[in-house]
A and B are shown apart, each in its own frame.
Chain A
Amino acid sequence: MSSSNPLRDPADRRLPRIAGPSGLVIFGVTGDLSRKKLMPAVYDLANRGLLPPGFSLVGFARREWQHEDFAAEVHDAVKEHARTPFREEVWQQLIQGMRFVQGTFDDDDAFERLRGTIEELDKAQGTGGNFAFYLSVPPRSFPVVIQQLKKHGLADQSSGSWRRAVIEKPFGHDLKSAEDLNKVVHEVFAPDQVFRIDHYLGKETVQNILALRFANTMFEPIWNRSFVDHVQITMAEDIGIGGRAGYYDGIGAARDVIQNHLLQLMALTAMEEPASFDADALAAEKTKVLGAVRLPKDLGRDTVFGQYAEGWQGGEKAVGYLQEEGIDPQSKTDTYAAIKVEIDNRRWAGVPFYLRTGKRLGRRVTEIAVVFQRAPHSPFDHTATEELGKNAIVIRVQPDEGVTVRFGSKVPGTSMEIRDVSMDFAYGESFTESSPEAYERLILDVLLGDSNLFPRTEEVELSWKILDPIEEYWDRHGRPAQYPSGTWGPVEADEMLAREGRSWRRP
C-alpha cells in the first residue's frame, strides 16, 4: 500500500482500513469451519466495504464441483451464517472473483491448476499476485499442502507482492511436533508471513482486556500481587466431543484449549504494558510472561485431569466420554483439565493462576476472573460481613460479553449487613449484534499483514514447554477423574483449590 496516496490521511478516521488487492485460497473449503465461519466472514467483510475491489476467493477440495457449484455453496453458507444482511450487489461483487479447484492434496495437476487459477485471477481481477493460503485441513495434511505450495511455486513472492499462510490450531501436539511443524512451514513461508489463527484473540472482549488495563487508571494500580489473591481463567463447553472422536482422542482438553486459548488469555491478563500497540511490542511482553511461568512442584497435587461420565446435561441425557462412538474404552484422554501455574516476576510472585477447561460442563462460558484479597482490616463485626466474598473483576469473554465488578454493599433496611453485589458492563446485548466476528477481524488482518492478534512461533513453543511436563505426568500417573456430565468438573479439582483455602467460581 503506497504511503504517498494523497487521499489517505491519518486524521481521516472514517476511512476504514481496506485490504490491498488480494485473494484468499481456502484448502478444505468443504469443511465445517469454512462453511460456518470463513465464508460468512469474507462476505461480512465485503458487506462492510473492507475488501478491495477484485477480491478473489478460491476454494480447493476433493469434491467434484464447478465454479458455479462452489459459488452456490458459498451463497448458502453466507445466507445461513453471515452476521450482516444479505445484499445482492455485495454478492455480485464477490461472485466475480470466486473459483474452485478440484483435487486432492497430493495431486500435482490440481496444484498446477491452482497456479493457473491464481494467474488468471491476477489478470481478470487484478489481485496483483497477493494471495493468502488458509489451511483449514487436518494437522497431518499440513506438511503435504505446504510442500505442494512450494513445489508448484505458489509460495514464491515476486517483488511487490506477498504470499501468506494461515494455519489453524493445533500447532502440534507437543513441543517437538510444534517445532517440526514450524520448521516445515518456515522452510516455505517466512516467519512474518505465517499467521496462526487463535480465534479467541480476534474477539472484541479479548482485545478489550488490553483497553481495560492500559487505557484506564483505576485497574492497573491494583493489578498485582499486593492486591490480587488469585486469577481464574475458565473455558467451559457444554457439548461433548460430538463427531470429532478421531481428532479429539489422544489430544484432550489441555492440548486443545489450555495450550493456546487459555495461555494466551493468561498472557494478556498478566503481561506488562507494551511499549506500543504493535505486533513486536505485544509479542515481546507476552513472550516474557510465558517465559516466566513456573509449574507447581507437585504436579499430582496441583493439576487435575478428568473425563465426563454419563449424566444429565441441561435436561438431556448425555453419554460418558468412554461410551462415545469411536473412543477406546481404555482411553486416558482428558476432557477436563485444571492446572495451577505461577508467574515468577515482581508483579505476580506468589499469585496462583488457575486455568481450567472442560467439555460437558454446566454451561458454555469463557471468563477471566481476577479475585482480590480481602480488606486487610474490617471495622465491621464478623456477622456484618459474613456474606461478603472477595472482590473480583470478571472479564466475560463469551457469551454475554462484558465486565463484571463484584464488591460488597450494605443491604438496605438492616442494621449493618454487607453482601456481594455486581456491577455490570454488558458489551453483550447492545454491542455484539454489530460487533464483528473474530474471523472477520483476523482474515482482514491477514490481508493487511497486521500480525498483532496472532501468536508467534516463540509463544507457541513456550506454551508447549509449559504444558509438556504436565501431559507427561498425566501419562504416567493415574487415570482421569470421572465427573458426571453437566456438572462443574471432578471433585478433585474442587479439592485442589480447597487445600489452599480457595474455591472455583461458578461462572
Chain B
Amino acid sequence: MKIDLTDTTASKINKALVQGRRAIGTPAVGMVLTLVIVTDEENAYDALKAANDASREHPSRTLVVIKRVSRTPRDRTQSRLDAEVRVGAEAGTGETVVLRLYGEVVDHAQSVVLPLLLPDAPVVVWWPVNAPLDPANDPLGALAQRRVTDTYAAEQPVRELTARADTYTPGDTDLSWTRITPWRSMLAAALDQVTCKVAAVEVEGEEFNPSCELLAMWLADRLDVPVKRSLSNGPGLTAVRMATDTGRIVLDRADGSLATLSIQGQPDRAVALKRRETAELIAEELRRLDPDDTYASALRFGVERLSEVSDAGVAFDEAADAVLEPPSKSDEQSPGLDAPSPGGEPVEAAAEAAAPEAEAEAPVTDAPSGTAASEKKAAAK
C-alpha cells in the first residue's frame, strides 16, 4: 500500500505510517532498525531496491532522503517536503518512506528524519553517493550508530580514503571494505592451511578501486610486511600474491567470479569469489552494528604508506627472494620506510589536497588529521 503526501510534515508522515499499517492489518511489526539512505534522485531507485532486498534479512524502516536540486534562486527560498509512504508488500518486510526535500529544508534534513526514527532501535545512515567528508559530524550522520559510505562511488576514491581515515569515528564503515570480506576470509583460510611467515605481498586490481587499497592496507597492517599495490584491468580485484618462507601463495581471480588458490606444494584449487550485489553488501553491513576496529586499523595504516613501498622500488620478487633465506629479525624492517617518499605520485598529492578540507570540517575526533600526522606515524614506525 502506498500513500502520497505532498507538502507535508514529519507528523503527518507518522500518521500515514500508522494508518497504512492498520489498513493492511499488521499493527505491530518487529522491525530491528531504521535505515536512512541519503541520495540524489538518480541513485535513489537502485539504493532503495538494494535496501528492500536486504530487509528480508533485517526488517527495517527505510527512510530515503532525496535532496532535490533547486535550479533558481527563487526555488531555493521555497521549502517543501513531499513523502511517499509504502507499507506491506511494496516495502520488502518493513516500511519505506521516500522523502523528497526541496529548497531550504535540504539543509535541515535531520529535522525531518529525527521524528521518523523507530523508538529505541539502532539507526544506520547510508550514503550510496556523495558521502560527507566527515560522516560522524554530518547532521544526519550524527543521528546514527552506523555510518555507511561508499568510496567506490567517489570521483577520487583514493583521496576519499585518506579523508575517511582522518575523520574516522567508531561506527564508520565503507562498502569498499565490505566488498573484500570474501577475499579476506579466503586469504585467512589460506594461511590456516600452511604455517609460514609472510615476507611480502602484492595486491593487484583495477585502478580507482579503493577496495584494492583497503585490502593492501589490511594485509600490511596485519602482517607488518611491505605490500605492493599494482594495477590491472580488473574487474575489481584480480590477484593477491604472498611470498612466504615456504613458497608462494597466490589467489587469482581473473574473471570476477571464480578464483584459483595456489599454494606452493599443494594442488591448485578453485574458489568461488563472486563480486557481490549491493543488497548483499548492505545485508552484511547491517548484521553487526558495533564499531569495526579492524576497518579502523586498516584505514589508519594510510594509503600513502602503500605508495611509499611501491615507490621505494621494493620489488615484490626481491622481497620474496630475501625471505626464502632463513628469516632474520631485520626482515621486518622494510627498506622503503627509512627513505622519505620521493612523492610526485598522484596518490600523495591527492592526500595532501584532502587534508585542508578535512580540517575545515572541524574534526572533533582524536584521529590524527592531515598528512603531517600520518608521516609522523610512518616515521615512528
CA distance A92 to B55 in the complex (A): 30
Chain A binding surface, main DSSP class = loop
B145-159 to A contact mask, C-beta < 8 Å, 1/0? 000000000000000
CA distance A430 to B92 in the complex (A): 9
* Among A9, A14, A49, A128, residue most surrounded by chain B Cβ atoms (within 10 Å): A14
Chain B binding surface, main DSSP class = mixed
**B: number of interface residues (CB 8 Å):** 46
Q: Is the CB of B184 within 8 A of A429?
A: no
Q: Is the CB of A11 within 8 A of B293?
A: yes
Q: Which of B203-211, B258-266, B305-313, B360-368 contacts its partner?
A: B258-266
CA distance A202 to B181 in the complex (A): 25
Residue of A nearest to B56 (CB): A433
Partner pick for A7 among B58, B93, B223, B272, CB 8 A cutoff = B223
Partner pick for B223 among A6, A11, A89, A125, CB 8 A cutoff = A6
Beta-carbon contacts under 8 Å, B6-51 to A = 28, 30
Neighbouring A residues of B222 by C-beta, 8 Å: 6-7, 9
Q: Does B338 contact A (CB under 8 A)?
A: no
Task: Report the minimum CB–CB distance from A420 to chain B (whole Å).
Answer: 16
Neighbouring B residues of A477 by C-beta, 8 Å: none
Beta-carbon contacts under 8 Å, A412-468 to B = 423-426, 429-431, 433-434
Q: Is the CB of B283 within 8 A of A16?
A: no
Q: Does B72 contact A (CB under 8 A)?
A: no
Neighbouring A residues of B76 by C-beta, 8 Å: none
Contact A89 to B258, CB < 8 A, known contacts A14-B284, A18-B192: yes
Partner pick for B192 among A11, A20, A93, A434, CB 8 A cutoff = A20
Q: Is the CB of A430 within 8 A of B59?
A: yes
* Among A20, A46, A90, residue most surrounded by chain B Cβ atoms (within 10 Å): A90
Task: Report the minimum CB–CB distance from A52 to chain B (whole Å).
Answer: 6
B161-190 to A contact mask, C-beta < 8 Å, 1/0? 000000000000000001001101111111
Q: Does A346 contact B (CB under 8 A)?
A: no
Beta-carbon contacts under 8 Å, A19-58 to B = 20-21, 46-47, 49, 52-54
Q: Does B330 contact A (CB under 8 A)?
A: no
Q: Is the CB of A14 within 8 A of B181?
A: yes
Neighbouring B residues of A431 by C-beta, 8 Å: 57, 59
Q: Is the CB of B190 within 8 A of A430?
A: no
Q: Is the CB of A54 within 8 A of B188?
A: no
Residue of B nearest to A425 (CB): B30
Beta-carbon contacts under 8 Å, B253-297 to A = 257-258, 261, 263, 266-267, 269-274, 283-284, 288, 290, 292-294
Task: Report the minimum CB–CB distance from B189 to chain A (whole Å).
Answer: 5
Q: Does A5 contact B (CB under 8 A)?
A: yes
Q: Which residues of B contact A (CB under 8 A)?
A: 28, 30, 55-59, 93, 178, 181-182, 184-193, 195, 198, 219, 222-224, 257-258, 261, 263, 266-267, 269-274, 283-284, 288, 290, 292-294
User: Could you show 28 A-B contacts with beta carbons less than 8 Å apart?
Assistant: A6-B198, A7-B191, A7-B219, A7-B222, A11-B294, A13-B292, A14-B181, A14-B184, A14-B185, A14-B294, A16-B185, A18-B192, A20-B192, A20-B193, A21-B193, A49-B182, A53-B186, A54-B267, A87-B272, A87-B274, A89-B257, A92-B258, A92-B272, A93-B271, A424-B28, A430-B57, A431-B59, A434-B283
The 5 closest A-B pairs by CB, nearest first: A430-B59, A7-B188, A12-B294, A90-B272, A434-B57
